[in-house]
Amino acid sequence: MEYRPDANGEEVDRWKEVTLVYNSALKEVGTKLEILNDEFQHVHQYNPIEHIKSRLKSPESIVQKLRSKGYESTIENMVEYVNDIAGVRVICSFTSDIYRIAEMITEQNDLTVLSVKDYFQNPKESGYKSYHLLVTVPVFLSNRVVDVKVEIQIRTVAMDFWASLEHKIRYKYAGNAPEHIRKALVRCASMVSNLDDEMLALNREIQRLEEEEKRDKNKD
């Protein structure tokens, strides 16, 4: 699946085509999200999206995932069984933005939602919190249209901070981090949840005060 010196011309061409299609899908979804964010800003004077990151899964990581699922490393298997080859991460400020963004995405007619994993309501044992949407997006090539899978992960800045460190640690220890480190990560995940709750409450209080001020001004 990677560029092996012994890969034949046909395999290399197929790999390049698959990469092009997944990259195009990332661009399609990225543009959609930017448009939705701009429109939201225009209507509500507020940006639910802080920033967007997108990436293509590395060939090594694809092979590892296929192996863990018991499949041979072929391009056909990767397209069929690896759902997060194209991944978009949407980072927002507040937990309330997560569902707002998910709803905006779900309402896009040309996207098909294949599955939803709500690790925000149901965090993983590790403490991982995030909202995952697996969608397909049509990519228009010169002679055909391909529906391409893209995994969209939506999470707050704080959850993303935690997930990035946990991901690094998981890779470093190949999933077998020492007990005290795992416990510390679970504690941090709980602090992240408390921080998210408090920041949301604070933001709501600020909005309430602003509304009150507006009402008072209108009375005068």
Give yes or no for residue 100 binding ligand 0O2 (CB under 6 A).
no
Other beta carbons within 10 angstroms of residue 36's beta carbon come to 19
Q: Which helix (H) or strand (E) holds 2?
A: none
Total of chain residues touching ligand 0O2, rule CB under 6 A:
13
Other beta carbons within 10 angstroms of residue 64's beta carbon come to 14
Q: Which of 90, 133, 141, 89 is nearest to 111 (CA)?
A: 133
Give yes or no for residue 167 binding ligand 0O2 (CB under 6 A).
yes
The bridge status of strand 86-92 relative to strand 145-156 is: parallel
Give yes or no for residue 172 binding ligand 0O2 (CB under 6 A).
no
- Interatomic CA distance for residues 111 and 144, integer angstroms: 17
Kindly list the catalytic residues.
151
CB contact at 8 A, 1 and 63: yes
Contact region for ligand 0O2 (CB under 6 A) — 41-49, 57-65, 72-80, 93-101? 57-65
Q: How far is the CB of 32 from ligand 0O2 (least distance, A)?
A: 20
Q: How far is the CB of 100 from ligand 0O2 (least distance, A)?
A: 21
Give yes or no for residue 83 binding ligand 0O2 (CB under 6 A).
yes
User: Among 32, 65, 129, 182, which residue interacts with ligand 0O2 (rule: CB under 6 A)?
Assistant: 65
List interacting residues with ligand 0O2 (CB under 6 A).
57, 61, 65, 83-84, 117, 124, 126, 128, 132, 163, 166-167
